Structure 1
Amino acid sequence: MADITLYDLPGCPFCRMVRSKLDELGLEYDTIDVPRSHAARTEVQQVSGQTGVPVITDEAHGVEGMPESSDIIEYLEETYGENGA
């Protein structure tokens, strides 16, 4: 099990951007596919307090339920990019 978990909706362009950044950085991560219906996204809501995706958790750095693709990408670059890790 990887330290990073991505809550993902297949076909979501914002989720795709986060997956691309994770892959670009060579990071191992687990993916949890969320339902299309916001009302059924109870797991992502418990983790992040909202139902939008993408959301990541990163156990290695104490990140629990970070939303917003731009924030996630910035975090990944700062934490795992050339200047981070």
Structure 2
Amino acid sequence: MMEEVIVYTTPSCPWCHKTKTYLKEKGISFGEKDVADDSGAAQEMIELTGQRSVPVIKKGGQYVVGFDPERLENMLH
């Protein structure tokens, strides 16, 4: 079973939109957590990464902060 991909986002983040488009183009399904609207998700993201910036893309115990196609590709495969 594949580990779920989670994208921590905010509605106004252009890099979040780029990340979601990238994942869709690659055929990768993902869950989305809006950290602007969900304080629990925001706290989870900060505990995971020590960062307050989005997007954060998580798969299992790995994560990528920011839109970084090369690092995303490595993490997802």
For the superposition of Structure 1 and Structure 2, which TM-score range results when normalised by the shorter chain? 0.7 to 0.9
Which residue number in structure 1 is paired with residue 73 of structure 2? 77
With the length of structure 2 as denominator, give the TM-score of the two structures. Answer: 0.77
1:42–1:51 contact (8 Å) kept in structure 2: no
Q: CA deviation at 1:44?
A: 1.5
RMSD over equivalenced CA pairs, Å: 2.2
Could you list the runs of 5+ residues in structure 1 that have no partner in the other structure? Answer: none
| 1:46 corresponding residue in structure 2 | 47
Is it true that 1:68 corresponds to 2:66 in the alignment?
Answer: yes
**Residue 22 of structure 2 corresponds to which residue in structure 1?**
21
In structure 2, the residue matched to 1:57 is: 58
Go from structure 1 to structure 2 and tell me whether the alpha carbon gap of 1:25 and 1:42 turns closer, same or farther (over 3 Å shift): same
Q: Distance in 2 between matches of 1:79 and 1:42?
A: 23
Matched length: 72
Task: Kindly indicate whether the alpha-carbon contact (under 8 Å) linking 1:7 and 1:44 is maintained by their aligned counterparts in 2.
Answer: yes
Q: 1:42 to 1:78 in 2, by over 3 A?
A: closer
Q: Which stretch shifts more, 24-33 or 43-52?
A: 43-52
Q: How far apart are the structure 1 equivalents of 2:67 and 2:55?
A: 6
Structure 1 outlier segments of 4+, above 2 Å: 75-80
Bigger-Rg structure (1/2): 1
